[in-house]
Amino acid sequence: MAAFGTVFIPEMAIARFDGNRWSPSEIVSSDSIQLHPGAHVLHYSSTCFEGLKAFRHEDGSINIFRMDRNIERFSQSSELLALPAIDKAATGQMIIDIVSRYKDEVPAPPGSMYIRPTHFGTEPAIGKAAAPSVTSFQYILLSPVGDYFAGGDTTLRLLLEENGARCAAHMGMIKSGGNYASALRPIMKAKQAFNADQVLFCPEGDVQETGAANFLLIDGNTVITKALDESFLHGVTRDSILTLARDLGMDVQERQLSVDELLERAAKPGCEAALSGTAAVLTPVGTLIHDGKDYPVGNGGIGQTTLKLRQALNDIQWGKAEDKHGWLTRI
């Protein structure tokens, strides 16, 4: 089976901002973009993106999960990067149009159609290092994906990094490619030195997020995760999981979590930790690595509360449970 996110639908929806207004959306070949080599994005990283999914239900309908929330974040990222403002309604229609056109390609559960809206600056102006691009492209790319856990559930090993951050603090809440690029070298070094799967960035002892996912600690009936601020990504999956945890009567605490508290709680029997994100929903964490030493989370295995929360979200996405929060857009 092809690796997650490497198979693409042959067409995409695209719109262009000419400095004054957005063009009408078009459906074009997915490999049709042409860029001037001086394009702003290639030199000054004026780009942001989103990741969301469409799901096929047993009645044959196609349902997009939390599209409105992703579009809001897409708009916010564009604004914070000084890109031209997107038209949120038009972006939503672009998503619906391209997914509707390829609705027959949406896999049945546990697969889905991954949706990647992208926005980037196109102005050919290499002298604008301190000024925004006045023109831009926006497109919606589709990738049918299978079961993220097709190889079986496994727990992750996370290296706790207290001396560095995933990205510049004021950039954390922007879903921009540069933030992911800045985390690559620490992740590669952690894999080589400690056989770690990811780095959990904890600048000055403040537990934040990994290179590509939010972090949650589950201690009995309590879920602890960092309170929202501009230093880390405001995950849609994170928000969904916390909402479902509250629905189940759990005590959700969005607050500062120190490395010391994390290690102390993780050592308790029954404690769990997980990473949340669009691809895997919730991925269990079995080991924390700190100062060269391994610390198992609970018994080091897959936590039952993690599985319960993931299943609760999957059931809504797959149409097997009531959508009480109005998260699905049916097309």
Q: Read off the CATH number of the domain in which 29 is found.
A: 3.30.470.10
User: What are the tens digits of pLDDT across the range 274-323?
Assistant: 999 998 899 999 999 999 999 999 999 999 999 999 999 999 999 999 99
Domain membership of residue 15 (yes or no) is yes
Residues 296 and 251 in one domain: yes
Q: Do both 72 and 218 map to the same domain?
A: no
CA distance 211 to 159: 11
Tokens 């044959």 sit on residue:
60
Is the same domain home to 120 and 194?
no
Dist CA 119 CA 174 (whole Å): 12
Report the pLDDT value the prediction gives residue 153, as an integer from 0 to 100.
77
Is-contact 198 189, C-beta < 8 A?
no
In a domain? residue 177: yes
Residue 2 lies in a domain: no
Contact 84, 41 (CB under 8 A): no
| Predicted pLDDT at 270 | 93
Q: Are residues 138 and 221 in the same domain?
A: no
Tell me the HSE value of 238 on the side-chain side, using a 13 A CA sphere.
21
The pTM of this model reads 0.96
Structural domains in the chain (count): 2
Mean pLDDT per segment of 10 residues, for the chain of length 331 residues? 89 98 98 96 98 97 98 98 98 98 97 98 97 98 88 88 93 96 96 97 96 96 97 97 98 98 96 94 96 96 96 98 98 93
Q: Do the domain assignments include residue 17? A: yes
Domain that holds residue 231: 156-317
What are residue 56's DSSP bridge partners? 62
CATH of the domain at 163: 3.20.10.10
- 3-class SS at 101? helix
d(CA 142, CA 144): 7
Contact 23, 292 (CB under 8 A): no
Query: For the chain, how are helix, strand and coil distributed in percent, rounded to 5?
Result: 30, 30, 40
What region, left, alpha or beta, does residue 171 occupy, with left being phi > 0 and alpha being psi -120 to 50 degrees?
alpha
In a domain, 324, yes or no: no
Residue 256 sits in the same domain as residue 121: no
The answer as to whether 4 is a domain residue is: no
> If 0-12 CB within 10 Å is exposed, 13-18 middle and 19+ buried, where does residue 100 land?
exposed
Residue 3, in any domain of the structure: no
Last residue of a domain, one of 107, 125, 145: 145
The pLDDT value recorded for residue 76 is: 98
